[in-house]
Amino acid sequence: MHNIVKNELIKIFKSKRIYIFMGILVLLALVPCIGNLIFNSGNNEDIIGQLLPIETLQMYLEILLPILITVLVSDMYTEEYSSGTLKLQMIHPITRGKFLLSKVIALGISILSLLIFAMLTTYLFGMLFFGWGDYFMLQGTTYSTGEGILLTFSSYLISSLPLLSFGMLILLISMKFHSGSATVGTGIGIFLILTYVNKLIKSVKPYLITNYFDLYSLLTKPFDFNEAVTYVGVLAIYGIGSYIISCFIFSKKDILY
Please report the pLDDT score of residue 92 as a whole number: 67
Task: Give 257's pLDDT tier (boundaries 50, 70, 90).
Answer: low
User: Average pLDDT for residues 137-144, to the nearest whole number?
Assistant: 87
Domain annotation covers residue 18: yes
Please report the pLDDT score of residue 97 as a whole number: 86
Give 9 or 34, the one with higher predicted confidence.
Answer: 9
pLDDT above 90 as % of the chain? 64
What is the domain extent for residue 195? 2-252
Domain annotation covers residue 82: yes
CA distances, 23 to each of 26, 68, 118 (Å) = 5, 12, 10
Task: Give 81's pLDDT tier (boundaries 50, 70, 90).
Answer: confident
List the one residue out of 136, 95, 70 whose CA is nearest residue 4. Answer: 95
Task: Give 255's pLDDT tier (boundaries 50, 70, 90).
Answer: low
Cα-to-chain-centroid distance, residue 119? 13
Q: Give buried/exposed letters for 179-195 (b at 16+ CB in 10 A, else e).
A: ebebbbebbbebbeebb
User: Does position 42 have pLDDT exceeding 70, yes or no?
Assistant: no
Strand-pair partners of 143: 136
CA distance 172 to 153: 30
Domain annotation covers residue 34: yes
The model carries a pTM of 0.92
Q: Are 133 and 50 in contact (CB under 8 A)?
A: yes
Domain annotation covers residue 58: yes
3-state SS, 150-211, equals HHHHHHHHHCHHHHHHHHHHHHHHHCCCCCHHHHHHHHHHHHHHHHHHHHHCHHHHHHCHHH
Please report the pLDDT score of residue 107 as a whole number: 97
CA distances, 171 to each of 42, 75, 219 (Å) = 44, 11, 29
Please report the pLDDT score of residue 53 as a whole number: 95
**DSSP letter, residue 30:** H
- CA-only gyration radius of the chain, Å: 20
User: Average pLDDT for residues 180-194, to the nearest whole number?
Assistant: 94
User: Average pLDDT for residues 212-225, to the nearest whole number?
Assistant: 92
CA distance 19 to 212: 27
Considering its fold, how many domains does the chain have in total? 1
In the chain, the amino acid numbered 47 is I
Please report the pLDDT score of residue 45 as a whole number: 55
Q: Are 108 and 164 in contact (CB under 8 A)?
A: yes
Cα-to-chain-centroid distance, residue 107? 10
User: Average pLDDT for residues 52-62, to the nearest whole number?
Assistant: 93
Mean of per-residue pLDDT scores for the chain: 90
Domain annotation covers residue 37: yes
Domain annotation covers residue 209: yes
Domain annotation covers residue 51: yes
Strand-pair partners of 136: 143
Domain annotation covers residue 257: no
User: Does position 79 have pLDDT exceeding 90, yes or no?
Assistant: no
